[in-house]
Structure 1
């Protein structure tokens, strides 16, 4: 399943990916969980992943504290604050990472919302990751801390699928943002305001 999705993504042009990124930013900000978050854990998209660049900038423009992952040697994730595109530096596996102070792997538990990378999501909100296990550890850490940030995944429209193989540790995402719509898997939280 991962291979077929990656093959479809590989056929996208850079222009497709850029155009999609702008639309995804607009859609994602329709999520009240993101619009109202003070701290959002996100990631820098690479290659033909659904683009996060415009969304990172939009969140920063709203004075949201955006945490980005820093890949550790054991594939666990540390975190640092996003301070703009010019402060991202090339890292292992073609990733871009913030150059600021490292906050420690537990920093993700401070986030009100967490944007997860993924390849697909099914109707139950179960996410298919890349298989590296980094975000399995992030989700386990969030679970162990007893915090309940809103979990969301950015995908292309064709990546909503019938079912994804679930692992016992999988936490369903609350929403998937695609260029055409926001897809909800759980009810939005009650509005405070």
Structure 2
């Protein structure tokens, strides 16, 4: 009698079936983990944006790029806001001394151009970041800034909504209730908690 070494076709198919089942169960978990990581990065970026707005407000004595939004993954926003030329960095006054009150609109691209923010903190984040004006009595020029969960001293400085590619749980087109915001306490909050 001859003893053959090797696997039968049925054994190979059984192993391939087990591998296929394991992979099909692992892919959604890995995708979910990837979305959670992106969401954590978005929270960190929102905090940095709120800090930059606060610092710019203090330096310029009143300048806030309110009601402006940008999505780092959108090519037009990369060119117009995130990758702004240094010439977009405008001193608050010709003498370099901040004005008592900034007149005219302040643009988000100034925060990047003047070094308050770095593109590396926002790159590849499929979220829309909106800067709000948290000062009392200010009109909210953008409905994004009007949050039912944030009132009074909790008025948001930054609101973040998921865009396409941020995962079903975070994508505002699929889950309208989920958003991230940073209020005047400078704490990152999550509307799902």
Instruction: Give the TM-score of the pair, scaled to structure 1.
Output: 0.24
> Which of these two proteins has the greater Rg computed from alpha carbons?
2
Relative to total residues, which structure has the larger helix share, 1 or 2?
Answer: 2
Instruction: Give the TM-score of the pair, scaled to structure 2.
Output: 0.24
Relative to total residues, which structure has the larger strand share, 1 or 2?
Answer: 1
